[in-house]
Amino acid sequence: ACSEFSQRSCEECLKNVLCLWCYTNNTCVDYPVRSILPPSSLCSLSNARWGVCWINFEALIIAIAVVAGLILVSIAVCCCYCFYRRRHSR
């Protein structure tokens, strides 16, 4: 159980991918797998760590959203470019 790692360290807690570390009260809790984001009653996003200790959950979500957005824009630009080239080559 993740609660066994409470009051230890973030690194020890996050060795188990099902655990979430909260810096507010130095607790290791089970990640709520039924919800995508942990509820604020469990831990605020700015104090929650999951996967790695050096980045908070809030920054992790923003980084993933930016990367996903860049990928979607790149795909859209490539599709438009290919469509444009195909249309003008005829």
pLDDT tens, per residue, the chain with 90 residues: 888 888 889 999 999 989 999 998 889 999 887 888 888 888 888 999 988 899 988 898 899 999 999 999 999 999 999 988 888 766
The Cα 31–Cα 43 span in angstroms is 11
Q: Give pLDDT, residue 88.
A: 76
Instruction: Answer whether 53's CB lies under 8 Å from 33's CB.
Output: no
Domain that residue 60 falls in? 2-89
Q: Give pLDDT, residue 90.
A: 60
Q: pTM of the predicted model, to two decimals?
A: 0.72
Q: Give pLDDT, residue 37.
A: 83
> What is the number of structural domains in the chain?
1
Give 13-41 as a DSSP string. Answer: HTTSTTEEEETTTTEEEE--TTSSS--TT
Q: Give pLDDT, residue 36.
A: 80
Q: Give pLDDT, residue 80.
A: 93
